[in-house]
Amino acid sequence: MKVKFATSNPHKVREGNLVGKKFGMEFIQIKQSYPEIRDEDVSRVAEEGARFVFDRVKEPVIVEDTGLFIEALNGFPGSFSSFVFRKIGNDGILKLLRGEKNRRASFISAIGYCDENGVKIFKGIVGGSIADKKRGVEGFGYDPIFIPINYKRTFAEDPDLKARVSHRKKAFQKLCEWLISGSKKA
Ligand code: IMP
Protein backbone atom coordinates (compact mmCIF):
# COMPACT_ATOMS: atom_id res chain seq x y z
CA MET A 1 0.00 0.00 0.00
CA LYS A 2 1.35 3.42 -0.98
CA VAL A 3 0.43 6.74 0.61
CA LYS A 4 1.58 10.16 -0.48
CA PHE A 5 3.60 12.19 2.04
CA ALA A 6 3.64 15.94 1.44
CA THR A 7 6.96 17.22 2.76
CA SER A 8 10.10 18.92 1.56
CA ASN A 9 12.14 16.89 4.05
CA PRO A 10 13.53 13.59 2.71
CA HIS A 11 14.73 12.57 6.21
CA LYS A 12 11.13 12.43 7.38
CA VAL A 13 10.20 10.20 4.44
CA ARG A 14 13.10 7.87 5.15
CA GLU A 15 12.20 7.62 8.83
CA GLY A 16 8.54 6.99 7.97
CA ASN A 17 9.49 4.26 5.53
CA LEU A 18 11.67 2.48 8.11
CA VAL A 19 8.43 1.90 10.00
CA GLY A 20 6.27 1.48 6.90
CA LYS A 21 8.27 -1.39 5.45
CA LYS A 22 7.45 -3.59 8.45
CA PHE A 23 3.79 -3.15 7.52
CA GLY A 24 4.20 -3.44 3.73
CA MET A 25 3.52 0.30 3.42
CA GLU A 26 5.40 2.85 1.39
CA PHE A 27 5.29 6.61 1.83
CA ILE A 28 5.93 8.50 -1.38
CA GLN A 29 7.25 12.03 -1.10
CA ILE A 30 5.33 14.74 -2.91
CA LYS A 31 6.44 18.32 -2.78
CA GLN A 32 3.00 19.92 -2.63
CA SER A 33 3.41 22.80 -0.19
CA TYR A 34 0.77 23.88 2.33
CA PRO A 35 0.32 26.77 4.73
CA GLU A 36 1.49 26.04 8.28
CA ILE A 37 -1.17 27.63 10.45
CA ARG A 38 -0.13 29.39 13.65
CA ASP A 39 -1.29 27.18 16.46
CA GLU A 40 0.50 25.93 19.56
CA ASP A 41 -0.77 22.42 18.87
CA VAL A 42 1.21 20.47 16.26
CA SER A 43 -1.89 18.32 15.68
CA ARG A 44 -3.80 21.33 14.42
CA VAL A 45 -0.94 22.27 12.09
CA ALA A 46 -0.84 18.73 10.67
CA GLU A 47 -4.64 18.57 10.42
CA GLU A 48 -5.00 21.77 8.43
CA GLY A 49 -1.99 20.90 6.27
CA ALA A 50 -3.37 17.45 5.41
CA ARG A 51 -6.77 18.89 4.51
CA PHE A 52 -5.17 21.53 2.30
CA VAL A 53 -3.06 19.00 0.40
CA PHE A 54 -5.90 16.48 0.03
CA ASP A 55 -8.09 19.21 -1.50
CA ARG A 56 -5.46 19.62 -4.19
CA VAL A 57 -4.19 16.12 -4.91
CA LYS A 58 -7.54 14.35 -4.27
CA GLU A 59 -5.76 11.25 -3.05
CA PRO A 60 -5.03 9.95 0.45
CA VAL A 61 -2.13 11.95 1.83
CA ILE A 62 -0.20 12.56 5.03
CA VAL A 63 1.40 15.70 6.44
CA GLU A 64 3.62 15.56 9.52
CA ASP A 65 4.44 18.36 11.92
CA THR A 66 6.99 18.15 14.73
CA GLY A 67 7.74 20.38 17.67
CA LEU A 68 10.54 20.42 20.22
CA PHE A 69 9.11 21.37 23.63
CA ILE A 70 11.69 22.53 26.19
CA GLU A 71 10.45 22.53 29.77
CA ALA A 72 12.63 25.36 31.12
CA LEU A 73 11.41 27.55 28.24
CA ASN A 74 7.73 26.84 28.90
CA GLY A 75 7.46 24.58 25.88
CA PHE A 76 9.31 26.87 23.48
CA PRO A 77 9.90 26.51 20.52
CA GLY A 78 7.02 23.98 20.30
CA SER A 79 5.01 24.28 17.12
CA PHE A 80 7.26 27.19 16.07
CA SER A 81 10.30 24.90 15.93
CA SER A 82 10.84 25.36 12.24
CA PHE A 83 10.89 29.15 12.40
CA VAL A 84 13.13 29.11 15.49
CA PHE A 85 15.53 26.63 13.91
CA ARG A 86 15.89 28.87 10.88
CA LYS A 87 16.43 31.95 13.03
CA ILE A 88 18.69 30.76 15.87
CA GLY A 89 19.41 27.06 15.23
CA ASN A 90 20.90 24.66 17.75
CA ASP A 91 23.48 27.21 18.88
CA GLY A 92 20.72 29.63 19.78
CA ILE A 93 18.84 27.00 21.81
CA LEU A 94 22.04 26.04 23.65
CA LYS A 95 22.63 29.71 24.42
CA LEU A 96 19.11 30.11 25.82
CA LEU A 97 19.75 27.15 28.11
CA ARG A 98 23.23 28.18 29.22
CA GLY A 99 23.52 27.62 32.99
CA GLU A 100 20.06 25.99 33.11
CA LYS A 101 19.94 22.78 35.15
CA ASN A 102 16.52 21.65 33.96
CA ARG A 103 17.25 20.42 30.45
CA ARG A 104 14.15 18.28 30.06
CA ALA A 105 12.53 18.40 26.63
CA SER A 106 10.33 16.34 24.37
CA PHE A 107 9.64 15.96 20.70
CA ILE A 108 6.04 15.63 19.60
CA SER A 109 5.18 14.44 16.12
CA ALA A 110 1.67 14.70 14.70
CA ILE A 111 0.74 13.02 11.44
CA GLY A 112 -2.44 14.15 9.71
CA TYR A 113 -3.86 11.53 7.34
CA CYS A 114 -6.56 12.85 5.03
CA ASP A 115 -8.78 11.01 2.61
CA GLU A 116 -12.37 11.42 1.45
CA ASN A 117 -13.54 10.57 4.99
CA GLY A 118 -11.69 13.51 6.53
CA VAL A 119 -8.57 13.85 8.68
CA LYS A 120 -7.27 11.54 11.36
CA ILE A 121 -4.35 12.43 13.63
CA PHE A 122 -1.60 10.11 14.92
CA LYS A 123 0.78 11.39 17.59
CA GLY A 124 4.12 10.22 18.90
CA ILE A 125 6.12 11.64 21.76
CA VAL A 126 9.62 11.04 23.10
CA GLY A 127 10.92 12.53 26.31
CA GLY A 128 14.54 13.43 26.79
CA SER A 129 16.92 16.27 27.45
CA ILE A 130 18.92 18.93 25.70
CA ALA A 131 22.66 18.18 25.53
CA ASP A 132 25.27 20.67 26.74
CA LYS A 133 26.69 20.92 23.25
CA LYS A 134 25.98 19.67 19.72
CA ARG A 135 27.02 16.07 19.20
CA GLY A 136 26.85 13.88 16.11
CA VAL A 137 26.39 14.48 12.42
CA GLU A 138 23.49 12.21 11.41
CA GLY A 139 19.85 13.16 11.11
CA PHE A 140 18.68 16.74 10.84
CA GLY A 141 17.33 19.74 12.71
CA TYR A 142 17.61 19.47 16.49
CA ASP A 143 18.98 15.91 16.40
CA PRO A 144 22.51 16.99 17.52
CA ILE A 145 21.19 18.42 20.79
CA PHE A 146 18.45 15.92 21.74
CA ILE A 147 19.17 12.95 24.02
CA PRO A 148 16.22 10.56 24.52
CA ILE A 149 15.40 9.55 28.07
CA ASN A 150 17.40 6.58 29.45
CA TYR A 151 20.14 7.02 26.82
CA LYS A 152 23.36 9.00 26.64
CA ARG A 153 23.77 9.67 22.94
CA THR A 154 22.03 12.30 20.85
CA PHE A 155 19.81 11.33 17.92
CA ALA A 156 22.52 12.70 15.62
CA GLU A 157 25.08 10.34 17.15
CA ASP A 158 22.84 7.29 17.01
CA PRO A 159 20.33 7.14 14.14
CA ASP A 160 19.49 3.51 14.99
CA LEU A 161 18.40 4.65 18.42
CA LYS A 162 16.31 7.39 16.81
CA ALA A 163 14.68 4.77 14.57
CA ARG A 164 13.73 2.74 17.65
CA VAL A 165 12.45 5.37 20.06
CA SER A 166 11.64 8.58 18.22
CA HIS A 167 8.45 10.61 18.23
CA ARG A 168 8.16 10.03 14.46
CA LYS A 169 8.64 6.28 14.80
CA LYS A 170 5.80 6.14 17.32
CA ALA A 171 3.46 8.28 15.23
CA PHE A 172 4.12 6.26 12.07
CA GLN A 173 3.67 3.03 13.97
CA LYS A 174 0.17 4.14 15.03
CA LEU A 175 -0.66 5.30 11.51
CA CYS A 176 0.50 2.01 9.94
CA GLU A 177 -1.38 -0.11 12.47
CA TRP A 178 -4.53 1.84 11.74
CA LEU A 179 -4.08 1.71 7.97
CA ILE A 180 -3.51 -2.02 7.85
CA SER A 181 -6.43 -2.67 10.19
CA GLY A 182 -8.64 -1.04 7.57
CA SER A 183 -10.25 1.06 10.30
CA LYS A 184 -10.40 4.14 8.13
CA LYS A 185 -13.85 2.96 7.15
CA ALA A 186 -15.00 3.14 10.79
P1 IMP B 1 8.60 20.59 10.87
O2 IMP B 1 7.84 19.43 11.39
O3 IMP B 1 9.20 20.28 9.53
O4 IMP B 1 7.83 21.87 10.91
O5 IMP B 1 9.85 20.73 11.82
C6 IMP B 1 10.02 21.74 12.78
C7 IMP B 1 11.48 21.91 13.08
O8 IMP B 1 11.90 20.85 13.89
C9 IMP B 1 12.39 21.95 11.85
O10 IMP B 1 13.42 22.88 12.08
C11 IMP B 1 12.95 20.55 11.80
O12 IMP B 1 14.26 20.55 11.29
C13 IMP B 1 12.95 20.15 13.26
N14 IMP B 1 12.65 18.73 13.36
C15 IMP B 1 11.55 18.08 12.90
N16 IMP B 1 11.65 16.78 13.16
C17 IMP B 1 12.82 16.61 13.79
C18 IMP B 1 13.50 15.46 14.27
O19 IMP B 1 13.04 14.31 14.16
N20 IMP B 1 14.69 15.68 14.86
C21 IMP B 1 15.24 16.92 14.99
N22 IMP B 1 14.67 18.01 14.55
C23 IMP B 1 13.47 17.85 13.94
Q: How far is the CA of 140 from the centre of ligand 1 (A)?
A: 7
CB 82 less than 6 A from any atom of ligand 1: yes
Instruction: Please check the confidence at residue 14 and state whether its pLDDT lies above 80.
Output: yes
CB 154 less than 6 A from any atom of ligand 1: no
Verify whether residue 160 is a known catalytic residue.
Answer: no
Who contacts 159 (Cβ-Cβ below 8 Å, separation ≥6)? 138, 139
Say if domain 2-181 classifies as CATH 3.90.950.10.
Answer: yes
Q: How far is the CA of 186 from the centre of ligand 1 (A)?
A: 31
Who contacts 9 (Cβ-Cβ below 8 Å, separation ≥6)? 140
Give per-residue pLDDT as tens, 150-184. 999 999 999 999 999 999 999 999 999 999 998 54
Q: What is the pTM of this model?
A: 0.96
- 32: nearest Cα among 52, 2, 60, 11: 52
Provide mean pLDDT across the span 115-130: 98
Confidence of residue 185 (pLDDT cuts 50, 70, 90): very low
- 40: nearest Cα among 89, 80, 97: 80
Q: How far is the CA of 49 from the centre of ligand 1 (A)?
A: 16
- Tell me the chain's radius of gyration from C-alpha atoms: 16
Q: Which of 65, 115, 132, 158 is catalytic?
A: 65
Rounded Cα distance between 13 and 134, Å, is 24
Provide mean pLDDT across the span 67-77: 98
CB 141 less than 6 A from any atom of ligand 1: yes
- 64: nearest Cα among 115, 1, 108, 117: 108
Provide mean pLDDT across the span 69-80: 98
How high is the pLDDT of residue 182?
84
Provide mean pLDDT across the span 118-138: 98
CB 168 less than 6 A from any atom of ligand 1: yes
Confidence of residue 142 (pLDDT cuts 50, 70, 90): very high
CB 134 less than 6 A from any atom of ligand 1: no
Provide mean pLDDT across the span 29-45: 95
Provide mean pLDDT across the span 113-129: 98
| Residue-range domain boundaries for the chain | 2-181
- The mean of the pLDDT values for the chain is 96
How high is the pLDDT of residue 183?
57
pLDDT over 90, % of the chain: 97
